[in-house]
Amino acid sequence: MAERYYVVREDLLPDGILKTEQAKELLRRGEAATIHEAAEKVGLSRSAYYKYKDGVYSIEQTSRESIATLSMDLEHRSGVLSKVLGMLAASDGNVLTISQSIPLQGMANVVVSLDTTIINGALPELLEQLRSLDGVKRATVVGRS
């Protein structure tokens, strides 16, 4: 059966759905670093966030172009960048550009522009996964367009 979509006026939506979109907006704007922090700020349980996150989008959000610029500090070890790129590919993120600084004191900064059209609302989860990779010391969104 094909998926069906509805446009519903905001005041008719249950709080859980509204708060999920508010939490996602905090994450997009960088006002919350993790899903836990965003959910806590809007008064939503993480389980409710995960229940609704893939099905709730504001009309404004769905009409935006989906390019995110990620900045990461990586340990200068064989395979770390490869693991990062593998994770981006596995999440259906399409790398548009990549720039790496010369490693200093065992660390290199990598900036990636990523087409997030397919991953859409899953960028916060992707960031959490990147941060959990061995050798990734920092991963943040530094721009969206």
- Looking at the structure, tell me whether residues 74 and 58 fall in a common domain: no
Q: Is position 5 within any domain? A: no
DSSP 76: S
Tell me: do 79 and 23 sit in the same domain: no
41-45, 60-64, 114-118: range with highest mean pLDDT: 41-45
Flag whether 109 is in a domain.
yes
- Please choose, from the candidates 10, 34, 42, the residue with its C-alpha nearest in 3D space to the C-alpha of residue 140: 34
Tokens of 111: 């900036």
The pLDDT > 90 percentage for the chain reads 57
pTM, entire model = 0.55
138 shares a domain with 109: yes
Picking from 62, 87, 106, the residue at the C-terminal end of a domain is 62
pLDDT at 38: 94
Measure the CA angle with vertex 115, ends 30 and 84; round to 5°. Answer: 75
Q: Which domain holds residue 51?
A: 10-62
21 plus 71 within the same structural domain: no
In a domain, 101, yes or no: yes
- Distance in angstroms (rounded) separating the CA atoms of residues 129 and 17: 24
